[in-house]
Amino acid sequence: MKKPNNKTGYEATKRLRNRDPQSRGGRARDEENRTFNAIQHTFQLPRYLQSLEVRNYSKTTIANRYADLVTFTDWAKDRSLTESDSITKLHLESYQRFIWRHRKANGKPLAISSQRQRLGAVKDLFKYLTKNNHIPANPASELELPRAEKRLPQQALSLTEIKTILNHPDITDPLGIRDRAILELLYSTGIRRTELTNLQLTDLNQERQTLQIIQGKGNKDRVVPVGKSTLKWLEKYLDEVRPKLLITATEKAFFLTSYGESFHPDVLSRQVSKQIQQAEIGRPGSCHLLRHTCATHMLEGGADIRFIQQLLGHAKLETTAIYTHVSIEQLKSVHAESHPSEARKKPRK
């Protein structure tokens, strides 16, 4: 009779490092190795994506554009629209309705931002086709995108909630130490999930207590401070855990999966979401919630908004300014001090 495998954490994942890379079921390491079908060549997708590379667009942007345009060319192929010059404004409006009606696996529609992204990719493609004389006129020139929503971000975590989450990983297990270091870094620095997955060993300066973000969003570099508590967890991970996960000596990624490879952003999101869920704080969340919480707590602590802008890597102050609208603790304090109904409750001197 086969004995049950009760191993968990690092011990349970040791076998993963001995598997053939081709059988792991993960993503291909080279995301630029794309295969284009006939209709995608007709729509000049290879040349269009190359033009983005020439203009120094980030790999993430190019990968997103490719995925969005594959959706469009598949839709066109299903309707026998196999020539780029046969597409009209009416066709594109029909595609816009198709995107609007689309439902995800959970039954929910695409977010307005996702709809705008998919349609924006199509508009930019046809702009390219027209500019380079592949088609005589641009059918997407008057296509109107859905109005952008002005929604407040998810409410930031409280100090009690963030402490509960940070303390959740089992630090008696190597993978728990790694996960604690990841959570600490996301909260301490507010970096994006993709920025964390792209981190290299040389990006951390332990002596100066800083982290260098190479080619963050918009291909922009920046340097952010790392708190002393977080630095201790990063050092513990580097000294005790990373050597156990490392398979190939040439691997320079800072955080490693059980396969000894760098994280994919989606895998990281699932990992962080799992930690937040298991912490049982009564609400869902992922990497962006920790980024948002970092900014909100710093604002409530008196940090200047321009410093927060630099920390988060926002190109425009308006993007950072949304945190001035959601710092509820500051608003409650001002309300208690200034609102007449609250003022009446104060004891007379």
**How many whole angstroms separate alpha carbon 50 and alpha carbon 34?**
12
**How many whole angstroms separate alpha carbon 17 and alpha carbon 174?**
15
Is 217 a known active-site residue? yes
State the catalytic residue, choosing from 48, 66, 128, 323. Answer: 323
Largest CA distance in the chain: 83
**How many whole angstroms separate alpha carbon 154 and alpha carbon 293?**
9
Cβ-in-10-Å burial (0-12, 13-18, 19+) of 260 comes to: middle
**Token representation of residue 206:** 């332990």
**How many whole angstroms separate alpha carbon 272 and alpha carbon 127?**
39
Of residues 186, 234, 182, 181, the one with CA closest to residue 207? 234
DSSP per residue, 78-133: HTT---GGG--HHHHHHHHHHHHH-B-TTSPBPPHHHHHHHHHHHHHHHHHHHHTT
Is 314 a known active-site residue? yes
**Contacts of 45 by beta carbon, 8 Å cutoff, 6+ apart:** 36, 66, 69, 73, 125
State the catalytic residue, choosing from 89, 91, 236, 288. Answer: 288
**Contacts of 124 by beta carbon, 8 Å cutoff, 6+ apart:** 65
Is 134 a known active-site residue? no
Say how many C-beta atoms besides its own lie within 10 A of residue 248's C-beta: 8
Cβ-in-10-Å burial (0-12, 13-18, 19+) of 114 comes to: middle
State the catalytic residue, choosing from 192, 242, 292, 297. Answer: 192
Helix (H) or strand (E) holding 194: helix 193-197
State the catalytic residue, choosing from 180, 242, 291, 292. Answer: 291
Is 17 a known active-site residue? no
**How many whole angstroms separate alpha carbon 241 and alpha carbon 9?**
12
337: left (phi over 0), alpha (psi -120 to 50) or beta: alpha
State the catalytic residue, choosing from 17, 127, 134, 217. Answer: 217
What is the CA 242 to chain-centroid distance, rounded? 23
**How many whole angstroms separate alpha carbon 32 and alpha carbon 228?**
38
Residues with a known catalytic role: 192, 217, 288, 291, 314, 323
